[in-house]
Each structure stands twice: as structure tokens, then as C-alpha cells.
Amino acid sequence: MTEGGDWQRDVLRELADTPAAPASTSPPMPPAPVDPRLPSPPPQPASPTRPVPRGTRDPRLPLTTPESVPTVDPRLAHALGRPQHGDSLTQRTGRSLRRLTTSAGQDVAEQTHLATELQRPVTTGRIIAVTSIRGGVGKSTVSALLGRTFNHYRHDPVLTLEADAALGTLPVRMGAESVRWSCADLAQILTPAMQLTDVTGYLVPVADGGWLLPAGQGRVGAPMDVRTYRTVTLALRRYFAVTVVDCESLPGDVARTAMDTAHARVVVAPMTAEGVNGTRQVLNWLAQLPHAALASTAVALSASSPDTTLDEKTAAAHLREAGVAVVSLPYDRHLAQGGPIHTVMLGQATRDAAVRLAAEAMHRAVRVR
Ligand SMILES: Nc1ncnc2c1ncn2[C@@H]1O[C@H](COP(=O)(O)OP(=O)(O)OP(=O)(O)O)[C@@H](O)[C@H]1O
Ligand SMILES: [Mg+2]
């Protein structure tokens, strides 16, 4: 792989020269050479094979293919209901009418600016870590929105990576029906000799494009530690222009490491007084990190309830005071439903917020360091 700006061309050429990865969520296992002295591994389900990347692993170690596990129990999957649109029919109709009657000049300039930020060329893969002060405030939702947005705007490979062992929801939000290989598996498998096409064989292809690497198979106690995180992110940034990391909540060790080592950070703050207050404490902690961590941080102020009463402008101003960019993510019926995120079903304000947040994060990921 060449240095500097050419690495992306190499990666793209490699993709173009190779038939597209099968649109399956269960990538086949590269067959490991078998050492007759070792006990034979348990029988594997029949699956097509792909060539073993040369020099990828110690052939004396048995490699068992993890089973493919559905992200949602099939008995529940059909109970999900139909996806709701984030905007009501009245809102959608009103917007179409407004579009016909107002000048679009300013809109176009703004869209062009955002697209330029999102498409910024990178010389080495950028890592954008998403976390929050506590659980359940929208980290996985924001990560999924960012991953999809980057993928929509960029032509180079984008990865969304789950670094949260606590039965995370990222695979479901990204629309993965099943998962097989996890971060812990890849930490053992990845070697510098691997090509992008070898690596993507272990990832989940996302329906709209891009790739997903889950933290585990949705079981209690899945392994995810700082070492695994560092090994996997360091190895994968060779292949992906942007990696969005859905971290556990602070102050978990993996979240702290991710925040410390990422090129840009997104802190998700719930739109409540205590949520904003706690997030301000996180920002104060970031300010103490050695390498301009605050300057490369954006906050997503997320309203995951339609009943929030906190004044958005006051909350945003309180966070901006710390020296970060703040983007408000409105309450969205489609996001509130849970389940896979369908971009076309998002409210217009949600889509706009996702684009603005992704642009802020990318701007920081490229500019800083
Ligand atoms: N902007 C939003 N509008 C409406 N609902 C939202 C929004 N963001 C998040 N939610 C709701 O909040 C729930 C929790 O979000 P999410 O799973 O992304 O949080 P999390 O911080 O990743 O949680 P955990 O700490 O458990 O990983 C979602 O299932 C969704 O219902
Ligand atoms: Mg989550």
C-alpha cells in the first residue's frame, strides 16, 4: 500500500478488481490449514470458502468459526411493526409546498459546504468515537446515523464498529439480521498481510453500503477490553477512510481509551438538565487530556422523548461554553420505534442534524492532529 493520499486509490482499486462481497450477513470462514497433531475442531456448518490470506495466522492454532446468531429473535422480529415516518404526513406535505415557494439558493450553498466537509480526503483512516455519560441516551442511534451518513457521502470504505460489550443495539440499528465475527475474533485474526477483501469477509455488509463490526454476538459477558479495542482499531484504520466507533458509556475503560485515541469525538447528551450537566463534566475531563481533545469534540444534544421541556438554546449554549460544537438531534418517531434505521423514514430535521453532526465530526477528525 502506498503512502499518503494514494492509499485510498489502492483500496478502491482492490475493491474494483474483486467481485463484490456476497450480500450475506454471514461471511464465510477462511479455511485454516489443519495441523494433524492438534485435536480436530468441532464440525462446521457447510459454507463456501475463500482463500486463506497468506501469512495471516499461526496455522497450529485451531480457528473455529463462530456460529451466525440472529440480532433479533425471529419470534420478535415479526412483531416489530411497520416503520413509522419521523415526520407526520402534514409535515411532509407542508415541506413540499414550501420548497415550491421559497428560494433554494442559501440551502444549496449550505448543502455544498456540508458535502465538502463530509467528503474531505484523508491520508490515513480517521476514527470518530461516540460515547455519553450514561447508558440509553442514544449512542448507538447516533453512531448508526453517522455511519450511514458517511457512507452516503463518501466513495471510500466506511466502517461502523461496536465497542460496547453490554448487549449493544448497533447491529440492529444498522439493519444486520445476524452477526458472526466480533471484535475479539478479529483481534486474533487481523494481520498486516491481509487485503481489504480478506477483511470484509469477516464484516457485516450494511444494506445501504459500508461495513459493520459488532462487539459480540449479543450475549451477556461478551469479551471487549482495551487491548482488543486497540488491536482492532489500529489494524482496521488501514482499510477504512472513516471508522465510527459506538463506545460503551463513560467512564468505562474502553470508552476512555477510545475518547483518548480517536481523531474526533462525539459525546451524546440527553436533552435533560441532568444530562447536559453531566455532559459538561465530561467536557471538562476532555479539556484535561493532552492533545486538544476538546477542539476535536462535537456534542449531539439528543431528544429521545417528545416531552422534553429543557430550553434547547440554553442547553446548547451551556455546552458550547466548554469550547465544543453542538448539534441538536430532534425527537424522531422513527428513531423512537427502535429496530433498524431506514434513512428514508427519518424526519427531515433528523436527516439534516445527522449530516451536520457528521460534517462537524469529520472537520475535526481531519483538522486536528
Ligand atoms: N433522536 C431520537 N428520537 C427518538 N428516540 C430516540 C432518539 N435517539 C434515541 N432514541 C431512543 O432511545 C433508545 C436508546 O437509544 P440507543 O440504543 O441509541 O442508546 P445507547 O446510548 O446506545 O444505549 P446503551 O447505553 O444501552 O448502549 C432508542 O431505542 C430509541 O428508542
Ligand atoms: Mg448502545
Mean per-residue pLDDT for 62-72? 83
Reply yes or no on whether the pLDDT at 241 is more than 90. Answer: yes
| Nearest atom in ligand 1 to 338's CA | 29
Residue 174: all three cell numbers together = 444498522
* Residue 331 Cα to ligand 1 middle (Å): 10
Note whether residue 104 is domain-resident: no
- The alpha carbon of 46 is separated from its chain's Cα centroid by a whole number of angstroms, namely 31
The strand pairing partners of 204, in sequence order, are 212
- Per-residue CA distances from 108 to 111, 194, 350 (Å): 5, 42, 18
Q: Is residue 71 within 8 Å of residue 178, measured between CB atoms?
A: yes
Number of independent structural domains in the chain? 1
Of 140, 145, 174, the residue with max ligand 1 atoms within 8 A of its CB, to mutate for a pocket test, comes to 140
Amino acid 58: pLDDT: 52
Note whether residue 339 is domain-resident: yes
Note whether residue 336 is domain-resident: yes
Nearest CA to ligand 1 atom 7: 304
Note whether residue 21 is domain-resident: no
Note whether residue 229 is domain-resident: yes
Amino acid 75: pLDDT: 85
Reply yes or no on whether the pLDDT at 41 is more than 70. Answer: no
Write the single-letter amino acid at 337. Answer: Q
Note whether residue 267 is domain-resident: yes
Question: Beta-carbon neighbour count of residue 230 at 10 Å?
Answer: 15
* Residue 117 Cα to ligand 1 middle (Å): 26
Per residue in 71-123, pLDDT (tens digit) is 988 888 778 788 889 988 888 887 766 666 666 667 889 999 999 999 999 99
Amino acid 205: pLDDT: 97
Per residue in 118-142, pLDDT (tens digit) is 999 999 999 999 999 999 999 999 9
Of 130, 244, 304, the residue with max ligand 1 atoms within 8 A of its CB, to mutate for a pocket test, comes to 304
Nearest CA to ligand 1 atom 30: 336
Distance CA 190, CA 352 (A): 36
Reply yes or no on whether the pLDDT at 160 is more than 50. Answer: yes
CATH number at residue 233: 3.40.50.300
Per residue in 269-327, pLDDT (tens digit) is 999 999 999 999 999 988 988 777 999 999 999 998 999 999 999 999 999 999 999 99
Task: Identify the band that residue 22 occupies on the pLDDT scale cut at 50, 70 and 90.
Answer: very low
Task: Identify the band that residue 54 occupies on the pLDDT scale cut at 50, 70 and 90.
Answer: very low
Pocket of ligand 1 (CB under 6 A): 132, 135-141, 164, 168-169, 249, 302-304, 329, 331-332, 335-336, 338
Note whether residue 19 is domain-resident: no
Please spell the DSSP secondary structure of 22-88, one letter per residue: PS-SSPPPPPPPPPTTSPPPPPPPP----PPPTT-S-TTS--PPPPPEESS-HHHHTTS-PPPPSS-
Note whether residue 321 is domain-resident: yes
Per residue in 253-272, pLDDT (tens digit) is 999 999 999 999 999 999 99
List the domain range (segments joined by +) for residue 340.
110-367
Reply yes or no on whether the pLDDT at 15 is more than 90. Answer: no
Mean per-residue pLDDT for 211-228? 83
* Residue 16 Cα to ligand 2 middle (Å): 33
Amino acid 72: pLDDT: 87
Pairing between β-strand 264-270 and β-strand 204-205 as defined by DSSP bridges: unpaired
Bigger pLDDT: 76 vs 233: 233
Q: Residues for the chain: how many in total?
A: 369
Question: Residue 280 gets which letter from DSSP?
Answer: H
